[in-house]
């Protein structure tokens, strides 16, 4: 099972080693004591979350690295938890103003830190999903009356195709009394996707909901949504959500099990 990627930037070798040993059961940890090295490699690492000490080696401190990260489109929504042995209101305020998600003071309770990191990664995943779903459609206020009419009729037709793989764009176009090229053009204009891509995207969003609701195993859900190949379904799902459907289902079962033991 793949783990969320955690980038640890900590100047204390002892603490860095300890945190890595404790966190690597749940995270794929990459550690460094240099903010400069972290920034050089951060786009390659593509962390899901960052644990950052304010005081680190080199000319770039934690605040500077945080500013650089928040200026990058691909990292601006990545949670960053700042660490420091300095319990200073001004530093805490500065970190939060720049964009830190949280600020913890050393020494800290490891269980609390672990739960914060875990919850922030889960929240990021949910935020990404919500954003993707919202971006799937443009705001109705930006569409013309003809486009709104197309959108309403197109979605009504494609809603009936979520659970099947037996459809063609030509048939959809005929149902709309439009040419295939026009349907393709309007679909890309409104959704940024071809009709086929739109339908597959709807299937994947529905699959994600079904998995979270424990509405069946991966194979069952795959076939219920009209995928003839489970492997193909898993490939598309991982590409969209960054995790396989099996991994998502396992996480959900683990969360339910943990909740039942509380």
**pLDDT at 135 exceeding the cut of 70:** no
Do the Cβ atoms of 50 and 80 come closer than 8 Å?
A: yes
End-to-end CA distance of the chain: 25
pLDDT of 31:
92
Looking at the DSSP bridge assignments, the partners of residue 84 are 105
d(CA 42, CA 22): 22
Domains of the chain: 5-129 (3.40.50.2300), 140-261 (1.10.10.60)
b/e per residue, 175-188, with b = 16+ CB within 10 A?
ebebeeeebbebbe
Distances (CA, A) of 229 to 161, 196, 236, 239: 17, 17, 11, 16
**pLDDT at 61 exceeding the cut of 80:** yes
Q: Give per-residue pLDDT as tens, 137-153.
A: 445 556 678 888 888 89
Q: Which of 152-166, 181-195, 247-261 has the lowest mean pLDDT?
A: 247-261
Q: Give per-residue pLDDT as tens, 65-113.
A: 888 888 887 777 788 999 988 777 888 888 888 888 888 888 888 888 8
Q: Give per-residue pLDDT as tens, 217-261.
A: 888 999 889 888 889 999 998 888 888 888 877 765 544 444 344
**pLDDT at 30 exceeding the cut of 90:** yes
């Amino acid at each position: 099972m793949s783990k969320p990627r955690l980038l640890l930037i900590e100047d204390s070798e002892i603490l860095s080693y300890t945190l890595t040993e404790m966190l690597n059961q749940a995270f794929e940890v990459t550690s460094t004591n240099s903010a400069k090295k972290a920034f050089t490699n951060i786009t390659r690492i593509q962390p899901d979350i960052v644990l950052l000490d304010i005081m680190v080696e080199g000319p770039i401190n934690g605040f500077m690295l945080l500013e650089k990260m928040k200026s990058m489109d691909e990292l601006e929504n990545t949670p960053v938890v700042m660490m420091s042995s300095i319990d200073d209101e001004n530093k805490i305020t500065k970190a939060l103003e720049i964009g830190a998600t949280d600020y913890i003071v050393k020494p800290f309770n490891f269980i609390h830190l672990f739960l914060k990191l875990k919850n922030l990664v889960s929240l990021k995943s949910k935020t990404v999903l919500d954003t993707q779903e919202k971006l799937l459609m443009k705001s109705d206020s930006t569409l013309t009356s003809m486009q709104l009419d197309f959108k309403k009729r197109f979605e009504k037709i494609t809603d009936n195709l979520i659970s099947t793989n037996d459809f063609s764009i030509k048939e959809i176009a005929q149902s709309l009394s439009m040419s295939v090229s026009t349907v393709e053009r309007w679909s890309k204009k409104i959704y940024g996707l071809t009709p086929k891509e739109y339908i597959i995207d709807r299937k994947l969003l529905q699959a994600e909901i079904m998995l979270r609701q424990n509405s069946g195993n991966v194979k069952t859900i795959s076939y219920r949504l009209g995928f003839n190949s489970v492997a193909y379904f898993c490939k598309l799902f991982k590409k969209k959500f960054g995790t396989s459907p099996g991994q998502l289902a396992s996480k959900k079962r683990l969360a339910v099990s943990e909740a039942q033991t509380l």
